[in-house]
Structures are given as structure tokens and as C-alpha cells.
Amino acid sequence: MSTTTAELLRGAAELFPDEVVTQAHVRHIDLPGAGRFALITLDNGLDHTKPTTFGPQSLANLDKAIDQVEKEAAEGTITGVGITGKPFIFAVGADLKGVELLKKHEDALAIGKGGHEVFKRLSGLAVPTFAYYNGAAMGGGVEVGLHCAYRTVSAALPAFSLPEVFLGLVPGWGGCTILPNLIGADRAVSVIIENSLNQNKQLKGEQVYDLGIADAIFEGADFLEQSLLWTAAVLKGELEIVRPEVDRGEAWDQAVERGRFIADSKVHGAAPAAYRALDIIAAAKNGDLQQGFDAEDQALADLIMGGELRSGIYAFNLVQKRGKRPAGAPDKNLARPVSKVGVVGAGLMASQLALLFARRLEVPVVLTDIDQQRVDKGVGYVHGEIDKLLLKGRVNRDKANRLKALVSGSLDKAEAFGDADFVIEAVFEEIGVKQQVFAEVEAVVSPTAILATNTSSLSVSEMASKLEHPERVVGFHFFNPVAILPLLEIVRGEQTDDASLATAFAVAKKLKKTAVLVKDAPAFVVNRILTRFMGEIQNVIDEGTPVAVAENAIEPLGLPMSPLVLLELVGPAIGLHVSETLNRAFPDRFTVSPNLAAVVKAGKRGFYVYDSGKPELDPEVAALLVQGDSVLSAEQVRARVLDAVAQEIGLMLEEGVVAEAQDIDLCLITGAGWPFHLGGITPYLDREGVSERVNGKPFLAPGVASVPA
């Protein structure tokens, strides 16, 4: 078996010459009172910022290490085998770069089988095996430990997960099969499905132990020592490890059902990974591990060759890499220090911004407004939010005092902003008002202070045009809820200079936001695409398609919410306002829905009532609707909407609104919560043929978010 595994891995290694190779060191230890013990250390020779991964050569190295300990175990020269990682890292699973390169189903199958063949040798050894989760463990890292007979975990372990479903895979090196058999299906569903789909939630050491994944937990300070002494006690028979019996009855099926419910609520059937994982978990009920492993191999290979995984990896890389190094941002050394922030306006948005700036920048933040009452309300809101943070233990008393002292209000702009380096306005969305505000602020601030606008649809250049120093104006467009959505569209006006832009990016980084550079174009990126998207939905409703059909037509995409629910969240009035702005800019493509206007005019804040627990069209809204007689099928609606989105993105790229399609996707993922399995949207439009149909070409080159040619 070992020979074929080695061959399998050699073949895979040829496809992935740039692998960062993990070594599997074997070192022998005299375990006090328990004989000679072989400890395998997984280590890629780099520090903890480059976590240990498993590519084909790495698996081959582990295979070789197991050759050695297998022989020693058979000869009786060792009493047990352990496996652990380099400092702070156990192992973080398969090397995604290697997965991206795979072009053929059979190669993908080889990766799955290769991992299984190597890992399962651990459970076949003639001596007991132990995994010591000393640090970050993910995916295949978790799984290699699952193949051992016993596990310990460090209380200092910061991150433990099976993130495969999050990316578009299944835990396919034993995770789907062994985990439910170890801790029961319900807990396995929590780890494999729920955490993964909950923005890849990580477990900490304590939780790993509480879930029963590890048999013992030790503090970080002497984790390995205590794990080895515990091992000695197990080997000597002084400690018997008793695990709770796994419920293989109805509870197992209910757990799988719960998993399907979670998957439906998150991806609405639109991404296959969670469902494939659940199928394997369901089948694992019979305890037949090999059958499970075979199913994992097939699922892995299918998913690796599928678009959702490629989109998932693409999206992951966008968020992790491009999101941290924004395309087109100027040299960060040009950035000026920001030691005081001014906020014009003290409404809800302004107050949320003040809180964010105070928390992240830890510099004085002053709110101004037109009367003391508004100012007091704004400052009061911020102080109240800080108290909530204190209550939740997110900040301690000293920090709460510090933050509160940082946030103040004033009616006197000269006093408030005179020494501010960065002033952001969040006043009424009206160009004349904003121009006047900036003129007032410019009169009292230094010539280099940044003037930022949180406008969602007005022209930044126009706003700057009447100033003495228009080069200092930048768009700084947040997304609601400000504390949750990571995206920040940074808008470069016609006259914005590099230093101001660099300062804006530096501030964004401190705010821990995902900054994307966008051109000063109507509604920038997210709002333009969402408005076009919703505009098309409204159009078909206005033309006669029933609301329910139009709403459900988009469900196969697995968006976080339906279009009208989103419009409710944004607020119909704001939605209408943005559509009017875009209609003025692009009257041929953006319409203003008379029905939406009627709903806004009637003062309705939403379309649905939730009295029955489920959303039902508000009868009052239904009464307002005036529809035509052109009824489309769901499929026709979907095609029309996707065509519109593809067209709009194509035009935006031609206009140079952003550098590349990647930025559009990054904006949609981080600003609108569009899912990884769509890769934002352009990978989906490409693979569904929409891009080709509308624009005559795909947005992305083959291999970028798809199986390489």
C-alpha cells in the first residue's frame, strides 16, 4: 500500500512544484516509566506566520516518517507514537495553492486518496497513537489528529476548525467520517457545517476539549510536557480514557437534519459542499470508516473540479490578500498622521462613525451639529455604546473611560476642528448642503487636514470643486451596519492628491476595514450594482410578474437575503433616492420604479409583515402596487437580472470604476455579504455563461476562479 501511496503523491507533487514542504521529524523520547516513544513534529521550517500545510511532498514526508515508526512499532522498540507541530502551529491543512492547480478529476481524487492513505496508517500502527494539538489546527491538520487514538489540546490554542465547507470542500481526509463517530453527529454538524458557514468560526482549546474532540487539555505554558506525561500515564494503564457513547439512533438523523436546515438558511441550496458533507455524515452512522473515506474522496474530487470551490478559494484570497493590500493605493509612506478626528453631524451614522474612529484610532473625536440637543444626543449615543462594550467585557473600565473621554461634542466648528487632521461629514445627502459644510470646515482647519465624505451617491469631485484645497477631499463610504460590514469604498476625486489618498488608506487600515479604491462614479460600486440588480427586480414586478416569483427567482444564487428584504434593510426611501441618482446618471439602464415611489410616499418602511412568523407581503403594500400584464417565469426573471448585473459590471470596468473585476467581487463580498461560493459575482456570471452572453467574454481568465485550462 505504501508504494502506491508514494507513487500517488509523487505524481501529485509534480503538479505542484512550488509547495512549501512540511517535514515530519521523528524523534525518540524516554517517557518516564513508559519506555521509548516516537514523537513526530510537523514543521515547514518557517516561523508561525507561515503555518504548516500539507501538500503532496509534505504528505510523502509524513508517509516516510510513518514507515519508520511502523517498523519500530512492529519490532517492539517503541511503546507509542505522538504527533505535534512547531511552536504556535499544529497544522492548518491542505495547501490551497496546490488545490487551485488541479485540472483533472483523477488528480483531485489522488489528493483525497493520498491524504487518507497516509493518515489512516496512524490508526493502523501496532502501538497507541497520540495527537497533541499545540497550536492552530485546521482542516487536514485537525484530521491527521483524528486518525490517532488519543488527543490532547492546548488551552492556549487560538484557532481550531474544519473550514472546508466554508471554502466549498468537505473535510475529506477523515473529518466527515471520524468526527461524528468520535463526538456524535450533532456536535460534528456544529463543527463541520455550522461553524464553517458562520463565517468560518474558530474553536478555542477549551471548546475543543468540551466537545470531546480532545481527551485532555493542558495550559500552554507546559502543554507538550504535560501531554507527554499524560501519555505515559495512559501507556502505563494508570489512566483509562472513557468517552461518552455516541448516540447512533434518531439523534444522528436529527443532527443531519439540523445541518441541512443550517445549510439551507445560509446557502439556500446554492453551494453543494455543505450538502455533500452532510451526506457523508449521515452515512457515517453505520460506523464503517472505509466506506466514509471513499465517499470523502469522491466528494473532494467532485468539489475540487466544481466552480463553487474555485470561487470559494478565489473569494478567500480576495479577502485575505487583496483586501489587505488594496489595488491602486498610493505609497503608504505618503500618509499623514491623524491625531484628531472631526465628525460633522451627530445623527446615527455620524455617531457610529465617531465610535468606530475612537475605538480604532484612539484619538480625540469631536462631533458637531446645528444645536446642542443633537450634539448631546450623538455623544450620548457613543457613550452608551461604550458602556455596552464595558458590560459585555469587550473593553475594561480603564479603556471605557479612555474612549469616553476621547469622544466629545461641540457647536463651535472652529474650536472643534481647528487642530483636527481628518474631518468626515455625515450630513444630509444633498450636494449643496455638503459643499457648504466643507466650505465651513475648510475655513477653520489646517490646509492639509483631510476632508472625507461618507456620501453614498454624490460626486466627490463636485463636492470638492468649490474649495481652496480640493486635493484634500476623499470619499469614505461605509456600509451599514458600520461595525459589522468590513467594506470601505475609498473614492478618489478628480483633484484628490496621493498624500490625502494615502492618509485615507492608512486610516482605513487602522479602522480594520477592507478598503477598495474606486473612481468618483455615480454610487461607486456596491450601491450601483445592487441598485441595478434591484431595479431589474422592480421592473419585472412593475411589468406584471408576481412579487413572490420575482423574489424567489434569485434564490438559486444563495444570497444572504431576498431583494425586497434587502431593500427593507436599506430603507425604501434611501433605495429610491439612490435609484433616482443613478437614473439621472444613466437613464437608459436605471429606472425609478413608480411602485417603489408609491411605497415610499405612503410612508411604508418595508414590504412584508411578519405577524405569522414568516414574511408575507404587507396587504397595504400590495394595495399600492400597480402592475402590468407581462408575467415572466422565475428563470426569465433570473436571466434578466443576471444579464443586467453582468452588463453593469462590464460597463463599470470599462469606465475604470475599479482596477479589476476582483475589486467588484471584493466589494460585493465585504460590503453586501455576497457569498464565497459565487466568488462575489463575476466567477458565477462567468461559469453560468452570462458574461459571455452579455459581454462576449468572461470577466476572469480561466484558472483565476475556475478550473485552469
Partner 1 sequence: MPRTARDVVFVDGVRTPFGKAGPKGIYHETRADDLVIKSIRELLRRNPSLPPERIDEVAVAATTQIGDQGLTLGRTAAILAGLPKSVPGFSIDRMCAGALTAVTTTAGGIAFGAYDVVVAGGVEHMGRHPMGEGVDPNPRFVSEKLVDDSALFMGMTAENLHDRFPHITKQRADEYAVRSQEKAAKAYANGKIQQDLVPISVRRSNPEAGETGWGLATTDEPMRPGTTLESLAALKTPFRAHGRVTAGNAAGLNDGATASLLAAEDVAQELGLPIKARLVSYAFAGVEPEVMGIGPVPATEKALAKAGLSIDDIGLFEVNEAFAVQVLALLDHYGIADDDERVNQYGGAIAFGHPLASSGVRLITQLASQFAEQPHVRYGLTTMCVGFGMGGTIIWENPRWSEATIKHSDGGSK
Residue 219 vs 257, nearer CB to partner 1:
219
DSSP letter, residue 476: E
Q: Tell the smallest beta-carbon distance from residue 33 to partner 1 (Å).
A: 10
106 binds partner 1 (CB under 8 A): no
39 Cβ contact partners less than 8 Å away, ≥ 6 residues apart: 26, 27, 28, 29, 81, 82, 83, 84, 228
Q: Tell the smallest beta-carbon distance from residue 30 to partner 1 (Å).
A: 6
219 binds partner 1 (CB under 8 A): yes
Q: Tell the smallest beta-carbon distance from residue 92 to partner 1 (Å).
A: 18
Site for partner 1 in 440-459 (CB under 8 A): none
Q: Which of 26, 295, 516, 529 binds partner 1 (CB under 8 A)?
A: 26
Interacting span for partner 1 (CB under 8 A) from 35-43, 253-261, 327-335, 455-463 = 35-43
Residue 66 vs 162, nearer CB to partner 1:
66
Q: Tell the smallest beta-carbon distance from residue 458 to partner 1 (Å).
A: 52
430 binds partner 1 (CB under 8 A): no
144 binds partner 1 (CB under 8 A): no
Q: Which of 159, 192, 203, 224 binds partner 1 (CB under 8 A)?
A: 224
CA-to-CA distance for 385 and 480, rounded, in angstroms?
A: 16
153 binds partner 1 (CB under 8 A): no
396 binds partner 1 (CB under 8 A): no
The site that binds partner 1 (CB under 8 A) totals a number of residues, namely: 24
Q: Which grid coordinates belong to 128? A: 497507541
SS3 316: helix
544 binds partner 1 (CB under 8 A): no
Residue among 381, 388, 393, 377 nearest 355 (CA): 381
Q: Are 174 and 123 in contact (CB under 8 A)?
A: no
160-161 sheet: strands from edge to edge = 89-91, 136-138, 160-161
**At 25, which amino acid appears?**
H
Q: Which of 10, 25, 394, 512 binds partner 1 (CB under 8 A)?
A: 25
Q: Which of 6, 9, 13, 31 binds partner 1 (CB under 8 A)?
A: 31
CA-to-CA distance for 291 and 69, rounded, in angstroms?
A: 26
Q: Tell the smallest beta-carbon distance from residue 17 to partner 1 (Å).
A: 25
Interacting span for partner 1 (CB under 8 A) from 40-48, 184-192, 351-359, 684-692 = 40-48
Q: Rounded to 5 degrees, what are φ and ψ at 590?
A: -105, 120
Residue 106 vs 222, nearer CB to partner 1:
222
Other beta carbons less than 10 A from residue 25's beta carbon: 12
Residue 47 vs 331, nearer CB to partner 1:
47
Site for partner 1 in 41-60 (CB under 8 A): 41, 43, 45
Q: Residue 701: is it exposed, middle or buried by C-beta count within 10 angstroms (0-12/13-18/19+)? A: exposed
242 Cβ contact partners less than 8 Å away, ≥ 6 residues apart: none
Q: Which grid coordinates belong to 672? A: 453586501
Q: Rounded to 5 degrees, what are φ and ψ at 437?
A: -60, -45
Interacting span for partner 1 (CB under 8 A) from 171-179, 225-233, 266-274, 329-337 = 225-233
Residue 36 vs 404, nearer CB to partner 1:
36
Q: Are 335 and 503 in contact (CB under 8 A)?
A: yes
67 binds partner 1 (CB under 8 A): no
Residue 239 vs 565, nearer CB to partner 1:
239
71 binds partner 1 (CB under 8 A): no
State the DSSP string of 185-229. Answer: HHHHHIIIIIHHHTTSPPBPHHHHHHTTSSSEEE-GGGHHHHHHH
Buried b (16+ CB within 10 A) or exposed e, 153-167: bbebbebbbbbbbbb
Q: Which of 78, 96, 193, 228 binds partner 1 (CB under 8 A)?
A: 228
CA-to-CA distance for 115 and 177, rounded, in angstroms?
A: 14
Residue 65 vs 700, nearer CB to partner 1:
65
Q: Which of 20, 21, 29, 549 binds partner 1 (CB under 8 A)?
A: 29
Q: Which grid coordinates belong to 315? A: 473569494
Q: Which of 27, 48, 243, 466 binds partner 1 (CB under 8 A)?
A: 27
Residue 206 vs 692, nearer CB to partner 1:
206
Residue 224 vs 521, nearer CB to partner 1:
224
Interacting span for partner 1 (CB under 8 A) from 37-45, 234-242, 677-685, 687-695 = 37-45
Q: Tell the smallest beta-carbon distance from residue 224 to partner 1 (Å).
A: 4
Rounded to 10 deg, the angle between the 289-304 and 273-283 helix axes is: 170
Give me the helices (H) in 52-174, please: 56-75, 96-101, 105-123, 140-146, 164-167
CA-to-CA distance for 450 and 593, rounded, in angstroms?
A: 37
Q: Which of 4, 7, 14, 30 binds partner 1 (CB under 8 A)?
A: 30
Indicate the pairing of strand 80-85 with strand 129-133: parallel
Residue 85 vs 535, nearer CB to partner 1:
85
Q: How far is CA 120 from CA 7, 160, 221, 428, in A?
A: 17, 21, 31, 63
CA-to-CA distance for 415 and 226, rounded, in angstroms?
A: 61
Q: Which of 28, 48, 466, 601 binds partner 1 (CB under 8 A)?
A: 28
Q: Tell the smallest beta-carbon distance from residue 219 to partner 1 (Å).
A: 7
Q: Site mask, partner 1, residues 78-97, x = CB under 8 A? A: ------x-xx----------
Contacts with partner 1, residue ranges (CB under 8 A): 23, 25-32, 39-41, 43, 45, 84, 86-87, 219, 221-222, 224-225, 228-229
